[in-house]
A = this chain, B = another copy of it.
């Protein structure tokens, strides 16, 4: 079958990430999509040293891509409102399917764009516009379609979450952390979009519309930034059992829909309170499912590319498969399943927690450690409890090793006179 041809407009962080993911995972992606996906053309004002575009057509005029008769799917990654809008409309009018990561564009011009897409019978996909690599739009729009959604609340700006996390963990103040975030590249030179909540409001506007079925109304969103949050407030909140997060909250009430972005105290035991650093998470409350949460990287080249490419695969699956086989049961085409074997447990690898009862006498620990060493197993930590008994519990945490070797070491330890009964073994994963 003919490959699907993609044109990428914009070769910044996300554009280069998208190009690289499509290349690196080309084989695996085509096994899922049922068809090869190739980058036919790139439209970008300049090259990006992070990706090797040799062999790919590059034009300085992004509108070339939108009009290129060879191209099936236009991926808009230039950002901003006006030119992006014109580009996407041109692509649609030329019969191209569109994938975009542009939250500002969708939040502000989405209603008009979707109408044009319907008229021209093309798909417009925008998973990457909200919460980067987390497939939260798909989750709400498809996975929760049985529910009357009551509310949703999200940490949907990584820069803001990084700043608030640093303020809490290190007692620093806003301006100080912002300067560091700018130096690290987490925050823009003009941080207004991030710290004043405009970026989050774009995303919340989109989430709110798909949750409650209302038209996109970015101009009605209430937005308050985090620049006035002080270290005192962080400390007092903590005394009260809360943490401060910059949340987007949308709630359905009898009178209408609440749509607001602001610093928010949330209980410290809430899972959302423990989403730290640049990570994003969205909590959704539905009448049937209750609360579900979606967590991951909300920005960055490849996390965002993950969502962009997933949208491309969605489009390709729809174009390619017959109606009843759009998504293969096991994600990969039946003819493309892997013959990788499932390994017997002896060949798997983890770290281990071991607990045993040992004689309280000199040299016992060394003897036990020797049995592990004989199998090439390194020890991470040991706890030996003081007791007045003759036998003491010994707890050992090891580094990663193949289970077969651990079996041999445990057999040798259990054979020692100084060790009584069986060794308890629990596997350890650092995740």
User: Interface on A for B, CB 8 Å cutoff?
Assistant: 17, 21-22, 24-25, 28-29, 31-33, 97, 110, 114-115, 117-118, 121-124, 127, 133-135, 138-148, 153, 209-217, 220-222, 228-230, 232-233, 236-237, 239-240, 242, 244, 247, 249, 251-253, 255-260, 262-267, 270-272, 274-275, 283, 286-297, 302-303, 305-310, 312-314, 318-319, 322-332, 334, 336-345, 347-350, 353, 355, 381, 383, 393, 395, 397, 424, 426-431
Contacts and interface: CB of A to CB of B under 8 A. Distances in A.
A26 B255 CA distance: 22
Contact of A271 (B274, B289, B342): B274
A139 B138 contact: yes
A369 to B, nearest CB: 17
B142 A253 contact: no
A115 B330 CA distance: 11
B147 A143 contact: no
B33 A213 contact: no
A289 B302 contact: yes
21 contacts: A114-B330, A123-B324, A140-B331, A145-B331, A146-B308, A209-B330, A233-B355, A236-B383, A237-B353, A237-B426, A249-B350, A255-B341, A256-B347, A257-B340, A257-B342, A258-B342, A262-B426, A264-B428, A265-B428, A288-B309, A295-B295
Given A123-B324, A329-B124, A342-B221, A305 B334 contact: no
Nearest to A430: B267
A259 B342 contact: yes
Nearest to A218: B342
Given A114-B330, A252-B340, A264-B428, 15 more contacts: A21-B146, A135-B138, A139-B294, A214-B342, A216-B330, A232-B393, A255-B341, A256-B343, A257-B343, A259-B342, A288-B303, A288-B306, A289-B297, A289-B302, A318-B323
Given A236-B355, A288-B25, A332-B213, A305 B146 contact: yes
Contacts of A127: 143
Contact of A272 (B302, B397, B431): B431
- Decide if the interface of chain A is mainly helix, strand, loop or mixed: mixed
Contacts of A429: 153, 247, 249, 264-266
Given A256-B340, A296-B291, A305-B146, A427 B262 contact: yes
A145 B32 contact: yes
Given A236-B383, A266-B431, A383-B236, A229 B426 contact: yes
B426 A264 contact: yes
B213 A31 contact: yes
